[in-house]
Structure 1
Amino acid sequence: MFGSSISAQERYFHELKGFEDSTDTTQLFFQIHETPEEGEQFNYRYDHIYHFDVVTNTYYKLFNNYYEEWTIPGMYTASYTTDYHFFDSDPSKWIRMTTNGEGSAPSFHDHRNAGFGFPFPIIIKAQMNNEFYYAANKFLLSIANDSLYYITDDFTVPFSPDSSKWPYFDDDDSGYDEMISYFDSTHFDYSLLDIHPNNDSLYFGIDGNGHLFRSEKYSSDFELADSSMFFSALFFDQNPSYIYGRNANMLRISNNGGIQGSWDKITLPENLNKLLFVSTDTSISGSLFISDSASVYHSSDYGNSFEMLLEFDSQITGLYKKPDSDILYVLTRTDLYKVENGQPTSIKQVPVSNEESPEIPNAVSLKQNYPNPFNPTTTIEYELDKTTFTKLTVFDVLGRKVRELVNEIRPAGTNTVEFKATNLASGVYLYRLEANGVVQTKRLTLIK
């Protein structure tokens, strides 16, 4: 049994994701859940998303995901990352879906600091009309990265993955009507579940009952594939004909691309308490890893038989199998393990309660913009040691305000903002950061 102790404070790892980049280096991502110890006056919930470097065994915060109450009753600050993906298997080319709390609409943000969201008046009108067309919490990128799919419980809406081509809706009645028209004219009537990694025209979706449908024509002409259970996820074998489907405690397999009549139930190990995690080895046909909260099992014959590999003291919270290797990554509440040739090694332990999070700076800091000089767009980066009200303003050399870039509460950590100076004349400008009682100013140069 493998595991380590955890502090009295509620803090643990969960939600492991992984992929191989263009150099066959594993990229891992996980969340650290943190809530206050009993007796703390400040109520918060942190669930930030981190990128783990398997070469250096270090990690950094990639996305904010948190809730913080104010001292004013009923007031809070929140920023939730509900889903995220990457273009070209490159961890620097991210796109994520966010919300600001219950009742807010989701928005997209990408690595180029572009964004798309629904204006607040549209959200209010949608709520008043009981038309929650915006209510999604996940999305998918097509295999070729040429489409983005916005997924609700009832239907899916395609968007361009190019942020410059995202639609714009005015924040009035006409914008609301435009949004409804756009969704009605572009959506298809299934909640997209997955896209086959070896066949970019083979799509799988579910209806309101969780029954599985498939289309060989991208997002049209869906046909029933299997109605024996509520499908919550699909997993793909190295052999493109074999597909695994799961729900809370059932695993099924198709041996013919998921078509109707090709699905069979997999008999799970008797000692498996509850099926929690599934991972396939995409380099070896028939290789399948599953786990409950304490044990990891492996099958080399498409789930016809299983052998138990390992047991852990701490609750298992994720699996990722590195292809073309003997390496399996197992995340537990307390540790990230690298399992090689059946031997687990802890490569990261959850931070203890008094350990300073490595991604949170210890002071407010304004960075030099880049590029500089620039034309017409530059990026300004600043660091905050705590979540606080922040202002970032651009002035000309005479002290006249020319642009207000930030005027809101911003989260602790590294923040970036894009400054577009399309309508400004060439010259030297000043940009000033005001946060947590600190004021810092730097120069930037616009050359046209």
Structure 2
Amino acid sequence: MIHLGAFLNAGVQGTAGWRHPDASPRFLTAAHYVRIAQVLEQGLFDFAFVPDALAVPRSLGGSFAPAVKWGSGTPRLDPVPVISLMAAVTTHLGVAATVSTGYHEPYNVAREFATIDHLTGGRSGWNVVTSFQDAEAQNFGQPKLPPRPQRYARAEEFLEVTTRLWDSWADDAIVADRESGVFGRPESVEAIDHDGDHFRVQGPLSVPRPPQGYPVIIQAGASEPGRDFAARWADVIFCSHESLESAVAFYTDVKARAAAHGRDPDNLVILPAATPVIGRDVQDALARHEAFADLVSVEAGLSRLAYHVNVDLTKYDPDGPLPTLDEVGVEGHYREVVEFAEREKLTVAQIGRWYGARTEGSLIGSAADIADTIQQWVDAGAADGFVIQATHVPAAFEDFVAEVVPELQRRGLFRTSYEGSTLRDNLGLPRPARGEWKARRS
């Protein structure tokens, strides 16, 4: 059985999604996210996943003007209240939010996600990021992002502290014996007394151990340190690939790293991004995609790409090839761009238009065509499922649920009902034992 997540911005959808004639303009209202959550639960999705960044992008030309003008990377609502709202109107759908280890503290994050996990009966997930824009650093008193090794060193310690805080209460710590008046067992709650390079945290957490043990940990690192970090800490890896071959290579590499760290590779769910464009047939779907691409200006696409790679692309000739970039923000997206641009011989300007309307995963065609591609990737060892990105919301999610999900079910590839009560249950993941953090740390 494959797994399906949904990727949605808490704000505008991409650089052109908000312009689509079927897109809802209500992305700043609660009703918008209520509707999406209900559609995804109807489609039996494992989870909804909300990305985040802590700045209005300034990567293109050193100004936030392009991001504001074209809606590339802004506005963004705080994802935690958004997923809390979505959880409140659903019963089974998992809800995951992005929170950066760079500009938060472990105690706050541990408490926040433990609370959501309790209130949802075990349906929460945390997408761990280290941040990727200098503009984020500049909102927190730093002139630029720390180097990647430093960011991941902080993230390592952050995860250790967070998981130790979740483990600071034993599962049987609460007695709640009304007759004796004993509420809890003090011997089953412990301080963590952590004193490290980045954090000093006494503990214990003020929230009992989450129903899932640890909320589901999602990670998307594509760099060398990112892959190794994910292989040890992540339950779900969210990735992005321009070809089946690169997806297979990534899947094989990360599963092998998990095994080398003593983990069961089957307990690491790898879900590439995919952006379906559904038509009556391939020709109709291609025409729909071309109409979508026509909504993207070159500057809008370059603004989106500059935001992702954290590089000012105005420095380069728009009619020339993209030069090699030594230090980038999101390395996975950069590798996709390089792979596609070299294959298609694109200029910087052409890359911008393509990137602004990029449909990842090659899911363009009829519902049967899309199911064929999903099955091909899973059978080839490239994926355990997909994170579906919508070209426009909520209509593209509605179309996927109405057309592609039934096709996957007819083929026996996707559930016809939820299997369990927690997100871990539905992903087929075990509940971590208390103290598992010791095995996951570097």
| TM-score, length basis structure 2 | 0.26
Q: Which has the larger radius of gyration?
A: 1
TM-score, normalised with respect to structure 1: 0.26
The structure where strand makes up a greater share of residues is 1
More helix per residue: 2
> Structure with the greater relative contact order (CA < 8 A, sep ≥ 6): 1 or 2?
2
